[in-house]
Amino acid sequence: MTARMLEVTGLEDGGVGLSATQIEKLGTRLAGPLLAAGDNGWDEAVLVWNAMVTAVPRLVVQPVSAEDVATVVRFAADHGVLLSVKGGGHNIGGTALADGGLTLDMSRMREVTVDPAARLAHVGPGCLLQDVDRATQRHGLATVLGFVSETGVAGLTLGGGFGYLARRFGWAADNLEQVEIVTADGRIRTASRTEHPDLFWALRGGGGNFGIVTRFTFRLHRVGPVITGGLAAWGADRVDDVLATYRELTANAPRELTAAVVVRLAPPAPFVPEEWQLKPVAGVLVCHSGKGAEADLAPLRSLGDPIFDLIGEKPYTAQQSMLDETEPKGLNQYWKAEFLPDLPADYLPAFRDAALDVASPLSFSVVFHLAGAINEADEDGGAVGNRDARFISGFSGVWPPGDDGERIVGAVRAGWERIRPYSTGGNYVNFQLPEDGPDRTAAAYRGTYERLQQVKADCDPDNLFRVNRNIRPSGVLSMPHER
């Protein structure tokens, strides 16, 4: 702990309730670095994807082992320090950062080990989706992850996690076989279906409420390395045809086919004809990971005359990264989404009108097909709620820092209100904003919330892990730090 670190963090007068000696002693116990503002690596350590997030920690630890994580957890518990965990930093809610507290930046724990014979992948908590996909695809294997390769594996999985393979193999959390975790008492444990089964159940969807995972073990499946996927788009004058065809396509889709319909302004990209750039379009994004793709995509092909058609055979890793350029760090992001049980006829025009209102150079609206294995649970389930969801639909308002986003936020909220009558009553916890309260978090765990509260009371009664979409311990109306 240097004098300069104390100066730039304001810790010379107590800061987060710690003395310089206490902080210096923490640093000596760690193998990984302890950072404060101005240190090399600080800016990257506190950078998160959503520019609307303004939280800034006082200190960042970059652990290199589970032992480092356990040291920080014990330190935070002993000294009443606000603690957060940053995996990939891609979560829209910004819960990776503890404002004025201590953030564990897991980016130095980014190893992936694949056991192709056992079909298992052992994944570090700092890994991004691309790390896992590249490692597993060398063996023609994959697990369920998201759609943007720079997303963090940890946050995605602990909140449930869905992607192109979810209809075949369930939520990302359904594919967990084991975790190594540091719990609130600072102990390093292994949790699985046979070891600490209640904790393992809660971790599969319950977010970061129950500890800090330091290793994930995923079940792998034969996928790729070549799939059929991509995006085709039509002008907004054909949006009703596209939506009706999407409804037909998803009604008969095998589990190997996942499709999403997207309404937005066409980007100024090389594959978009110049006359269509920044004009409203309706596109269909597909990933078919099985055989018979062309036959299954026939309804989509019957639309004819797309503005562009990028659907074809490609590496699975290319499919997983094709949306990366549309999701860069540093833009303002404001989302609202709901789970849907189906797509009734009157839903489609409600979505259409709302989506065209939301459209801006960076904003988009989406309906994503779930169903299939998403609706099923294995013998011991897991904490992911909303197993009745067959679609997820919502609106993503996106604009650059410095621009006025008031109109975009208003359009997103108005669109959300239009589709709420069609909701299952549930929502996806990984899409929640800081403004979303406890009731909305509880709705994300329809069917599992009360049991999650009990597990929380058992393993984290003091709510040490609270910089997240928080689940309060059972029987507790408010925590000491909230009074």
Q: Which domains does the chain have, with CATH numbers?
A: 3-106 (3.30.43.10), 112-222 (3.30.465.10), 226-438 (3.40.462.20)
Distances from the Cα of 113 to the Cα of 69, 215, 353, 435, angstroms? 20, 11, 47, 38
The Cα–Cα gap between 347 and 327 comes to 27
Residues in the chain: 483
Q: What is the pLDDT of residue 356?
A: 97
pLDDT of residue 135: 98
Q: How far apart are CA 2 and CA 105, in angstroms?
A: 20
Helix, strand or coil, per DSSP, at residue 135: helix
H and E: helices and strands count for the chain: 16, 19
Give residues with Cβ within 8 angstroms of 306, minimum separation 6: 232, 233, 234
Q: What is the enclosing helix (H) or strand (E) of 312?
A: strand 312-315
Q: Which residues pair with 212 in a beta bridge?
A: 182
Which pLDDT does position 385 carry in this prediction? 85
Residue type at position 45? A
Asked whether the beta carbons of 116 and 71 are under 8 A apart, the reply is no
Taking only the tens of pLDDT, the chain with its 483 residues reads: 444 344 444 443 334 678 899 999 999 999 999 999 999 999 999 999 999 999 999 999 999 999 999 999 999 999 999 999 999 999 899 999 999 999 999 999 999 999 999 999 999 999 999 999 999 999 999 999 999 999 999 999 999 999 999 999 999 999 999 999 999 999 999 999 999 999 999 999 999 999 999 999 999 999 999 999 999 999 999 999 999 999 999 999 999 999 999 999 999 999 999 999 999 999 999 999 999 999 999 999 999 999 999 999 999 999 999 998 888 889 999 999 999 999 999 999 999 999 999 999 999 999 999 999 999 876 677 999 899 999 999 999 999 999 999 999 999 999 999 999 999 999 999 999 999 999 999 999 998 999 999 999 999 999 999 999 999 998 765 544 443
Give the Cα separation of 366 and 323 in Å (integer): 14
Confidence at residue 16, expressed as pLDDT on a 0 to 100 scale: 60
pLDDT of residue 378: 67
Res 5: pLDDT: 47
